[in-house]
Amino acid sequence: MDKFKETILLIENDNFTLKQLVSILILLLSKLKINTLSGMARSEGKTRRGILISNKYKKIDIGDQQMAIKGICEDSLPF
């Protein structure tokens, strides 16, 4: 089994503690270009709506906040 699939299954099956999951999240955030829609718009010199309707950013909800991830198209992930 490749390492990606193994890691996903370990996370899905609750094999990590909350502290370990937070550590993984912090590491991932340092590797991703992720920001709020407004923050991404400011950094890209675009409008919030421009980021929202663009297919060049994957949009996800984290809590009550909608976030944009630069570098991944809206339809390129299976979830």
pTM of the model: 0.79
3-state secondary structure of 35: strand
3-state secondary structure of 52: helix
Q: Nearest to residue 57, comparing CAs of 23, 25, 34?
A: 34
pLDDT of amino acid 75: 76
pLDDT of amino acid 57: 95
pLDDT of amino acid 45: 97
User: Which segments of the chain have a pLDDT < 70?
Assistant: 1, 76-79
CA dist 77 → 19, 21, 46, 67 (Å):
27, 21, 24, 15
